[in-house]
Structure 1
Amino acid sequence: MTDPDEKQRMAQLEDKIANAKAVHRPQSQIEDHHSQAHAGWRMVTELVAGLLIGFCIGYGLDSLFGTLPIFLVLFVLLGFAAGVKTMLRSAQDIQRAQSGQTDKDEGT
């Protein structure tokens, strides 16, 4: 009794609705937890990398010049500062991504 064009339009509409639901599906708590854990480990790794690079450069310069603690302490502190700066930049990126996601959720 229904028109074939109407059936086709209904099928297209159902496909559009299914696609829209798939795109706007909220992220599960487990996926969100893993992304937060990943971000935390990323920040810790950046801090440790900064410290290790500073330690290696400082120890290398102290061995080269024969002034053991001076460059070691200086470059460990610089490595720590660089690691903290990188951590803060990562935290800002994560915060921007989450605020963009929140804005997108509120707009829907």
Structure 2
Amino acid sequence: MTDHPSDGPDPARLEALEKRLKEVKRSTEPAPRVDVQMDQANMAWRMVIEMVSGLGIGFGIGYGLDVLIGTQPWLMVLFTLLGLAAGVRVMLRTAEEMNKERAAAPAADEEGK
């Protein structure tokens, strides 16, 4: 058998085909979807969960200590209030984080241009 140029792949044609495939792929890829309202809803749920978990954990610790020590309802009230304070503190930290991300987003868009 003799080697003919048509027996092997042509590198120039393969490279041209790869370029065309990349262009088609790029044009058909959906743009990344950024849903601001959904992001805000997720942050709101996160804050609610942080508040409720702080209250629940404080209540549980207080109730458990009240049952063990027999000081009902004083420790339960105290730890529920401490849980409320902890929940508010974590919520404020989350809000601060969200504000930093919002402030950083336009700056990142400016750099990308």
TM-score, normalised via structure 2 length: 0.68
Shift of 1:104: 2.4
More helix by share: 1
2:102 pairs, out of 79, 98, 101, with: 98
Larger Rg: 2
> Which ranges of structure 1 fall in alignment gaps of 5 or more residues?
1-7
* Partner Cα distance (1:79, 1:52) in 2: 7
Counterpart for residue 5 of structure 2: none
In the alignment, which residue of structure 2 is the partner of 1:5?
none
What are the superposed Cα offsets for residues 17-43 of structure 1, whole Å, 9 maximum, x if unpaired?
x7xxx9xx7864xx1110000000000
Partner Cα distance (2:56, 2:101) in 1: 29
Which residue is 1:45 aligned to? 49
Give the % identical residues: 46
Q: How many residues align?
A: 89
Aligned counterparts of 2:98 and 2:42: Cα–Cα separation in 1: 11
TM-score (norm 1): 0.71
Q: Which residue among 76, 81, 84 is the counterpart of 2:85?
A: 81
